[in-house]
Amino acid sequence: MKSEPTVTPERPQVVERVASILRAISAQGATGARLKDIAVDTGIARPSVHRLLGELAAVAYVTQWPDKRYRLGTALFSLGLSAPHPIKDLVAIRALAQELADQCGDVVYVALRKFDGVHYLVRTEGSYPIRTHLVAVNDSKPFTASYSGLALLAQLDESVRNSLINKLALDAPADWVDERRHQLERQIREKIEEVKVLGYCAGKNTVMPGVAGMAAPIPSATQTPYMSISISAIEERLNTERVKELAPRLLKTAQAISEHIE
């Protein structure tokens, strides 16, 4: 009788190693990742990383640019087109966002991380007559240009995060940004720390003059958070006391939305 093929311990490790290498490259975004950094991030010996990168490059899962850095390859895009969408019920998500908007009276957004920023999927409005009309559904913004983006910026690798903060892409008036660039960079770093410590960030005059907001990443059971929920209002509406009042509702809504995504 023919025996079953022997599965060596190394075989499952290959898949784990390939997955960790791809994650390490993805974490660096458009900057790309150096060989030695991938080895450090994954804990895999440098010769093994080099060999696996060569095999991944042969099937266009990674590519090495003239600067010697590795980036994800175009073949992964084709694979991604066939993958199921991680958002299971957008109608339910919209209803939860509307419930939060009804509670706070202001504008609530749900945003999805994209390659270089966030894309807005949902906008709901409360009853307060003065609203911020900065973003519409299907708009996209850089990570540093909105509170939704800051909540997701906190999830990125530190080197990528620092690079994006240094570039400071904002939709605010240029003269306003130029006058307080260093202050804005400091505020953005403070917001990122708030997300890490509190689970949300809040503030005013950080991404746009006269605008206040608060945002939280939406937990994912399978991966690093890739969606966020935010409240946007005129600055007078979000003082310290009100932020403390709304924070539990914001976090509760984020947790509820997580039930409708992968």
pLDDT per residue over 119-172, tens digit each?
999 999 999 998 877 799 999 999 999 999 999 999 998 888 998 999 899 989
pLDDT at position 11, please? 55
What is the b/e burial string over 155-184, where b = at least 16 CB atoms within 10 angstroms of the residue's CB?
bbbeebbeebbeeeebebeeeebeeeeeeb
Q: 38, 45, 32, 40: which is closest to 19 by C-alpha?
A: 38
Average pLDDT over residues 46-63: 96
Which residues 6+ apart lie within 8 Å of 207 measured at CB?
A: 144, 145, 146, 147, 149, 150, 170, 171, 172, 213
**By the 8 A CB rule, do 206 and 170 touch?**
no
pLDDT at position 8, please? 46
Phi/psi for 242 (5° steps) reads: -70, -35
Note the pTM of the prediction, 2 decimals: 0.83
Mean pLDDT of the chain: 92
Two tokens, residue 11: 């075989």
Query: How many angstroms separate the Cα of 136 from the Cα of each of 95, 97, 120?
Result: 17, 15, 7
pLDDT band of residue 5 (cuts 50, 70, 90) is very low
The pLDDT tens digits of the residues spanning 87-128 come to 999 999 999 999 999 999 999 999 999 988 999 999 999 999
**By the 8 A CB rule, do 135 and 207 touch?**
no
pLDDT band of residue 2 (cuts 50, 70, 90) is very low
The tally of CA atoms less than 13 A away on the side-chain side of residue 21 is 30
Two tokens, residue 145: 């240009």
The pLDDT tens digits of the residues spanning 212-246 come to 999 999 999 988 999 999 999 999 999 999 999 99
pLDDT band of residue 12 (cuts 50, 70, 90) is low
